[in-house]
Amino acid sequence: MAIEWYVVLSSLIFAVGAMGILTRRSPIVILLCLELMLNAGNLALIAFSRMVGNQEGQVFALVVMVVAACEVVIGLGIIVAIFRRKLPLDVDELRELQG
């Protein structure tokens, strides 16, 4: 099987994640989309690791999983803090700071 299929699949997942972050409004769905983007990276790493023939990519993917878990924990923590303040859980409504 050609490497292209894996790369194309991972780039599709990456694009879905990126689109989700840009268009969805719930911070929880945005966190899910971040996971999609990181896992697209993982898929690419593992596929390339197979192609190149060494294990460095697989090790990298394992490390990324740990980091992704940390990010989600912090994200959920902040979302809970926002929820407790009874602020709207909607990134469009959170606009006290205007760019």
Partner 1 sequence: MIAAFHAPDIYYAGLSPVIALTVAICVVLLTAVFQPLRRTAPALTLIALATTAGLLIWQGGEEIDLVSGALRLDDLAIAISLIAVLSAAFAVLLSIREPAVEQAGSGEYHALLLGSVLGMALLAQAQNLVSLFVAIETLSIPLYILCATDLRRERSLEAGLKYLIIGSLGSATLLYGLAFLYGGSGSTDFAGIAAGIGQKGVTGDPLVLIGIALAAVGLAFKTSIAPFHQWTPDVYQGAPTPITGFMAVATKAAAFAVFVRFFDVALISEASEWQPALAVLAAASIVIGNVGALGQSSLKRLLGYSGIAQAGYILGGLVVASEAGVNALVFYLVAYAFMNFAAFAVVVARERETIYGDDIRAVQGLGAERPLLAWPLTISMLGLAGLPATAGFIGKLYLIEALVEGDYTWLAVFIAVGTMISLAYYLRVVAAMWMRPGGETSAAAPAIVGASPEADPIDPEAGRRMYLVAPALLAAAAVVIFGVIPQPLVEFAEHAGASLF
Q: What is the largest CA-CA distance in the chain?
A: 52
* 60 contributes a contact to partner 1 by CB under 8 A: yes
The yes or no reply on residue 2 touching partner 1 (CB under 8 A) is: no
- Residue 9 is a binding residue for partner 1 (CB under 8 A): no
Contact pick of 8, 19, 25, 54 for partner 1 (by CB under 8 A) = 54
Is residue 96 close enough to count as binding partner 1 by CB under 8 A? yes
Binding residues for partner 1, total number by CB under 8 A: 47
**Cα–Cα dist 24/10, whole Å:** 21
Residue matched to tokens 């593992």: 46
Distances (CA, A) of 67 to 39, 80, 94: 11, 20, 26
How many angstroms separate the CA atoms of 70 and 78, rounded? 13
Supply 2's token pair.
């050609």
Q: Which residues bind partner 1 (CB under 8 A)?
A: 7, 10, 14, 17-18, 21, 27, 30, 34, 37-38, 40-41, 44-45, 47-49, 51-54, 56-57, 59-60, 63-64, 67, 70-71, 74-75, 77-79, 81-82, 85, 87, 91, 94-99
